[in-house]
Amino acid sequence: MRVLVTGASGFVGRSLHSALSLRKNEIVVTTRTAQSEQNAASNSIVVSNIGATTNWSSALSGADAVVHLAARVHVMRDTAIDPLTEFRCVNTNGTLNLARQAAAAGVRRFVFLSTIGVNGNATTLGNLVSETDTPRPHDPYSISKHEAEIGLRAIAASAEMEVVIIRPTLVHGAHAPGNFGKLKGVVARGIPLPLASINNRRSLVGIDNLVDLIVTCLEHPAAANETFLVSDGEDLSTPSLIRRMARAMNRPARLLPLPEKALMAIATMLGSRDAAQRLCGSLQVDTSKVRALLEWSPPVSLDEGLSRAVK
């Protein structure tokens, strides 16, 4: 199978490239810069900017499937005058432009990596969100991804191309960017964290499990035109996550008790309320659909995934 992978030089893209290579797929990758050692075995095409007018004809030539990972992701201290417009340019308009060209080129299946943010940014403890829940995108990033999902479903309804949408939870793994990478660094340095009193639950997904599902969605007949939530299948409180990370690093977990209200008040004064909410709040997903429809289960346990992530 000839597969076009966008964003192949990113965190998920690198792992997906390796997995597809092991399955002897012919891979075409797009990157922002010239060909690197990582994708030297693939047909590499430079696409510096993704938007409504990007020409994908060379990358799509002969492609059987597309995995679209490239996106404008969360930007810390975003200086854009209108952040939503910037996110839409790449994540909505750029995605739909690629999908329309893919459908016209005869691509059989289009796998889109969306975000759990489409379901919202929090759940009450013990309540799980699912694919059938009303979408609640909460920031420019998740809004742009949700709008791309809507457009992709419309394209699938009017073309021969099948669309699969995956909404991952927080992805952990070696070299993971964002919040997990920051937390890993803090735990590794033994910095005390005032999180011992937090009672929450969050769903996570290891990079190997996410990539395994992406590959499954490329090939499984029942995945056509479906949306899936994915996690490792075990939800952790933030203190439990830190303890397990520390154990995998053979380091002590330095957790201090502080009431959640006090922690949130301090974080608000410091301008870090959103970060504190992610550490204190719950976000749990129901993965029964992907398990039943695709007969898929995470091949790597959460503890093994965390061990791989920190080592």
Instruction: Give the catalytic positions in this structure.
Output: 141
8 Å CB contact between 233 and 286: no
